[in-house]
Structure 1
Amino acid sequence: MRILHTSDWHIGRSFHGHSTLDALGSVLEALVTQVREHAVDVVIVAGDVFDSAAPSAACYPVLSSTLAALADAGARVVVTSGNHDSAARLGFQSALLRKEITVVTDPRSVGTPVTVDDEDGPVHIYGIPYLEPAIVRHLWDGVELRSQAQTMQHALDLVRADLGERGGRSVVAAHCFAAGVDATPGVEREIRQGGLDVVPLPAFDGPDYVALGHIHGRQQLSDRVRYAGAPVHYSFGEAGKPRGSWLVDLDAEGLADVTWLDLPVPRPLVTLRARLDELLTDERFAGHDEHWVRAEYTDSTPQPDPMRRLQSRFPWCATVVHLPAETQADDGAGYARRVRAARDDAEIVDTFLAHVREGEGASEAERALIRDVLDARSVAEANA
């Protein structure tokens, strides 16, 4: 049996204020083509289908058309909910979906598989929706479920108990932080409020393959436990990380092979760092006009209107950050002390400019302007 493991579509997520629906739609079309070309039997979407619990109306056609296209390509589709999803919204029409499509959002279904047969017998696919301990603990009496780790351990114990009775090969789809993952700062929002709740790797013992979601980058925790990551880049912290999915082959004995399939990147991400005038003119930055650009300009002082100026060269410049290449060393003298030590008003102004500009005082032109203003004030006071 051939299985495609994908996750974290985050339909509806924006990128620095820009919609990603068109880009994601094109990537998901490429994924459907891969399903057809590789004769995939089952597609697993391991959570975070939507980016929010209340997605906009424009998000639903992206999901419905993609699920229908996957089924038309000959695949059985199993979708689970993630921590971004509203289980109620994602699963409300699950009973009305085509028989080739199963959306797993009900915690009470944990331990009940979707079974798909091939020439070697049954493969049991156990979808585990995102389980918030405080919400689901009442479903299982006599079991302490205070953490994500305890809750996932219990869910997988239910899977192992059911599998022990059924026998055969098995796959689990779940959405969580697993021990050993390398998260992207600022991207994978915490599964639980107040800190990460990591599920130990031994909790996943038993199934032939574990398809995980939540981490946006491709990761392999063991031969049989993997994250596919998001199909598009949603943060500059993900720049350079491949986008794609895992193609999983099961033979009669279990896991036979796992291959990575790359997906196209609609608009690559790049971080450019230099002085602002270099970013605007230097030929070494040519070729980035169609990239998402994070510009870090290193001038010692903030420059006027940097975003507008940079977008004249890089139309897809999404963010601008001022990161001075050099900062003034702290000489131990506070700003107030330096002001008191100034001999005249011109030095007070120069001290202020040096303070707000990380050590760079007034330029010669600025000093001349300051002198003119102070002289004019003195004349006005004398004539008052």
Structure 2
Amino acid sequence: MRFVHSSDWQIGKTFNFAPDDVLHILQQARLDAISRLGNLAREQGASDVLVAGDIYDYESPSDRTLRQPLERMRQFPELRWHLIPGNHDFHQPNGVWERVRRLTLPETVRLHLSPEPVAITPDEQVWLLPSVLTRRHTTSDPTLWMDEAATPEGAMRIGLAHGSVREFGGDGEQPNLIAIDRPVRAGLAYLALGDWHGFNRISDRCAYSGTPETDGFDKGGDGGGSALVVSIEGPNAVPDITPHRIGHFSWHTMQETVTSSEDIDTLENRLRSLDAQKLSSVLVWLKVEGHLALDDMTAFEERIVGDVGAGLCLLRMDQMPDLVTSHADLATFGEAGVVSRAAGRLQELSEAGGPQQQHARAALQRLAVLWQKEKRA
């Protein structure tokens, strides 16, 4: 038996930090990943794709969002796609899966909405044991029923579930907690898990595939972009589990100190070297400390925020270097006029401290850089 193990597609995911044009690109990438999964299965000679929950990101997607992943799967008629609910798209009356079930589904898309063994090969020698979440969080083990689930003697048993086998951060009791030795207890050849967004091999017979597209700056290391090709020679054989890169985008968090034009040069080279051939597939959350004079700040905005920012898929900046203004800088605003008076007042507020200091510094910085650009135009 050879199959592809995936999970956590989270179709329709909203990236609140992204502008609308980037949001559309990231959402589209999650759909494109389904096609890459199908192509991976074809290339590897896999007959089935097991998706361990969270196909959708929320309980009430639009009609278009509901249909989009189904149409992607329809393009691979030789594959069987097995889907279970997760904690984001849990199965409830009149919920997302009832809506999916009422559609005209591709014949090869199989919804598993009840915890019962299902033969998934024509010879009925391989049985899938799907766990189904009926609420977002449950304190019971969703795979407990597998221990007593009856299948024909000698059949290969493959579990499919969504939950945690350990507490991935946070305090207190972890919801949807799965026994780490469930494959042994239930006689499973393999337990395919979803919920953790990075590839994580729990044991010889249990793994998380991770989401096929990384979906956040906090997902460093094995933070997604993968799928697993799993080959099992027989019911008692140890599975061969091979990760494959599926994701298109790479996500980076950087914290830099910039105090001179040389530092700007270094930062620009560092950003451009993240992926020189596909800079448009890179997202960067850049936090910059330091102090820059007006000319250098103008160069920083033009070269880093402007040029490199346009080349990247996304440059997110929540922290900028401070602008250090001199009397000569302030003199560039002229001796009179609204702009000059505004700059002088902002300078006073930025030096006075108090609750307005930070906003005054930011406003003075923007005013000075824009005025500098206007003078050069």
TM-score by length of 1: 0.68
Alpha-carbon distance, 1:252 to partner:
2.9
SS of corresponding position for 1:238: coil
Q: Distance in 2 between matches of 1:38 and 1:2?
A: 8
User: Would the alpha carbon gap of residues 68 and 352 (structure 1) be closer, same or farther in structure 2, given more than 3 Å must change?
Assistant: same
Alignment match, 2:112: 104
Shift in Å, 1:30: 1.5
Residue identity matched to 2:353: F
Q: 1:201 — aligned with what?
A: 180
1:220 corresponding residue in structure 2: 201
Write the distance in 1 (CA, Å) between the matches of 2:63 and 2:236: 41
Deviates more, 1:219-228 or 1:264-273: 264-273
SS in 2 for 1:237: coil
Contact 2:193 2:207 in 1 (8 A): yes
Shift in Å, 1:265: 3.2
1:32 aligns with 38
Deviation at residue 234 of structure 1 after TM alignment: 0.5
Change over 3 Å in CA distance of 1:195–1:182 after alignment to 2: closer
CA distance in 2, matches of 1:122, 1:314: 54
Q: Quick one: percent identity of the two aligned structures?
A: 18
Say which of 117, 120, 127 aligns to 1:124. Answer: 127
Provide the rounded CA distance (Å) in 2 between the counterparts of 1:102 and 1:14.
26
2:301 & 2:14 partners in 1: Cα distance? Answer: 19
Cα distance, 1:78 vs structure 2: 1.1
Aligned to 1:287: 273
Alpha-carbon distance in 1 for matches of 2:256, 2:57: 34
* Contact 1:3/1:44, CA 8 A, preserved across alignment: yes
Structure 1: any 5+ residue segments left out of the alignment?
Answer: 134-146, 326-345, 361-384
Separation in 2 of the partners of 1:25 and 1:347?
52
Are the structure 2 counterparts of residues 22 and 93 from structure 1 closer, same or farther at C-alpha, using a change threshold of 3 Å? Answer: closer
Unpaired stretches in structure 2, ≥5 consecutive residues: 323-346, 362-377
* Cα distance in structure 2, aligned partners of 1:307 and 1:215: 37
Q: Does residue 162 of structure 1 match 2:153? A: no
Preserved contact between residue 27 and residue 232 of structure 1 (Cα < 8 Å) = yes
Partner of 1:372: none
Give the direction of change, closer, same or farther, for the CA distance of 1:78–1:349 in structure 2 (3 Å limit): closer
User: Mean alpha-carbon deviation: is it higher for 208-217 or for 240-249?
Assistant: 240-249
Write the mapping of 1:40-51 to structure 2, written as runs, cut at 5 A. 40-51=46-57
- Equivalence for 2:329: none
* Residue range with higher mean Cα deviation, 284-293 or 39-48: 284-293
The one-character-per-residue Cα deviations of 1:230-249 (angstroms, maximum 9, x if unpaired) are 00011012244352211112
Q: For 1:27-80, what per-residue CA distance to the aligned partner results, in whole angstroms no more than 9, with x for missing partners? A: 22121111111121221111000111112344234311222124x1x2222100
- Report the CA distance shift for 1:322/1:63 in structure 2 as closer, same or farther (over 3 A): same
Q: Give the secondary-structure state (helix, strand or coil) at the position aligned to 2:50.
A: strand
Structure 2 counterpart SS, 1:90: helix
Amino acid in the other structure paired with 2:110: T
Query: SS in structure 1 opposite 2:230?
Result: strand
Which amino acid counterpart does residue 313 of structure 1 have in structure 2? Answer: V
Q: State yes or no: 1:319 paired with 2:300.
A: no
Report the equivalent of 2:328.
none
Relative distance call for 1:314 and 1:195 in structure 2 (3 A) is: farther
Give the partner amino acid of 2:180: L
Deviation at 1:211, TM superposition (A): 0.7
Query: Whose Rg is larger?
Result: 1
Letter in 2 for 1:163: A
Tell me the SS of whatever aligns to 1:247: strand
Q: Which residue of 1 aligns with 2:373?
A: none
Shift of 1:132: 2.9
Alignment check: 8 A CA contact 2:164 2:178 kept: yes
SS at match of 2:45: coil
Say whether residues 1:254 and 2:236 are aligned partners.
yes
Residue identity opposite 1:150 in structure 2:
S
